[in-house]
Amino acid sequence: MSDDSSSLTRRDFVRGTVGAAVAASLLGNPLESSAGAAPKSYVTLVRNQGALNSGNDVNELVLGEMLTQVLRSVTGKADEVSAWRSLVKSDDIVGLVHTDHLNKTHPELIEAVKRSLKLAGIPEKNIWMVQGSPEKVKQCTALISLPALKAHWLTGIGTVFKNYICFNGSPSSYHDANNAKLGEIWNMPHVKGKTRLILVDALRPLCEKGPQPDPRYMWQYKGLIAGTDPVAVETVCLKIIMEKRQALRGEPWPLSPPPMVVEMADKQYGLGTSKLEEIRIVRTGWMEDALV
């Protein structure tokens, strides 16, 4: 930290005062993991070349298969029913939290999750759409986060932690530099401990200028990224965004401002790990240009 100030400066990043993932994002360095460390968290990546057609329409059959693969990979269970039953109870009120604004979560993914939950015995009346409603979240006993993968001009990345911004009832309190504190929402009493799965829609991510859609920076990644550690999932998402930026420009393209929310979620709020070397990525399916 800089003297006589709680602010972080560019020099702090260059010095290495902050975490590797965040520093690498700002300085345009590759975000690499060190070999040999024991994994603390697992993140599942499933991709399928048939998930989207050339017009960006979703193949729902393929997406359903991808969801099953995600659930089996995250839980280690043999089928999606067993997988869901290890994540939620049959009497849970399950809140689905999707991105409903600017580069939205694909509705086909939301429907696939609903169908799958019902198949696992969760009554339809107990599956709620809760984005933007802290009151509904209070009544939920389980949450499934369904953000869409995107860079964000104000926070660096606007995926996992940004997805809960409305749950404190005052999203404007996280504007400007306060966005680094988004992780604190996950520790609020009505949210803490309820998130059973983070399932990121990476079918067609946005790697720059988010959240407003800009097709120049959207590409068909055709993936789902999932896990139970929100920081680890966000870190893997960050790696993909960074790699895509470099690939687009053919030179280091720093993510600015740096995604401090990732660092804070790890170090200050204890929500998971942002160290890539502590994350094991479990890959399934098509891996060409996976970027991670």
Partner 1 sequence: MKRCDLNARIHQGLRFAACCCFLLLAAATPIVPLAAQPQSPRNYPTNMSLPQTIRGWTLSGPAKRVEPKAIFDYMDGAGEFYLAYRFEYLDVSEYKNPGQSDILVELYWMDSADDAYGLLSGDWGGDSVDLASTPTQASSATVRALYGAGLLRIWSGNLYARVLTYEETDAAKQAVMAIGRAIAAGRPEPEPPHLIQALPQAVGSSFSLRTDRTVYLRSHLVLNSAYFLSSENLLDLGLDCELAAAVYRRNGDGKPPKPVHVLVVRYPGEAEARRALAHFQRIYLSGKPAAAGDRGVVSIEDGWTGFILSGKGLGLVFEAPDEATARLFLDSSKQALDGVERLHER
Q: Where do contacts with partner 1 occur on this chain (CB under 8 A)?
A: 2-5, 7-11, 13-15, 26, 55-56, 101-102, 152-155, 158, 162, 165, 171-172, 175-177, 180, 208-216, 218, 254, 256-258, 260
Q: Decide: residue 240, CB within 10 A, 0-12 exposed, 13-18 middle, 19+ buried.
A: buried
The residue among 55 and 189 lying less far from partner 1, judged by its C-beta, is 55
Host H or E run for residue 199: strand 195-206
CB atoms within 10 A of CB 5: 8
Residue closer to partner 1 (CB basis): 65 or 100:
100
In this complex, which beta carbon is closest to partner 1, that of residue 165 or of residue 224? Answer: 165
Crossing angle for the helix pair 80-87 and 107-119, to the nearest 10 degrees: 90
Is the dihedral angle over the CA atoms 215, 218, 223, 229 positive or is it negative?
Answer: negative
We find the least distance from the C-beta atom of residue 15 to partner 1, in angstroms, to be 6
Provide, rounded to whole angstroms, the least separation between the CB of residue 260 and partner 1. Answer: 7
**Is the CB of 91 or the CB of 153 nearer to partner 1?**
153
Query: What is the spatial distance between Cα 38 and Cα 277, in angstroms, rounded to a whole number?
Result: 8
To the nearest whole angstrom, how small is the minimum distance from the Cβ of residue 160 to partner 1?
A: 14
Cβ at position 256, least distance to partner 1 in Å: 5
Report d(CA 211, CA 272) in Å as an integer: 25
Segments in 76-217 forming alpha helices (H): 80-87, 107-119, 134-139
Which residue's CB is nearer to partner 1, number 96 or number 218?
218
| Smallest separation, CB 244 to partner 1 (Å) | 14
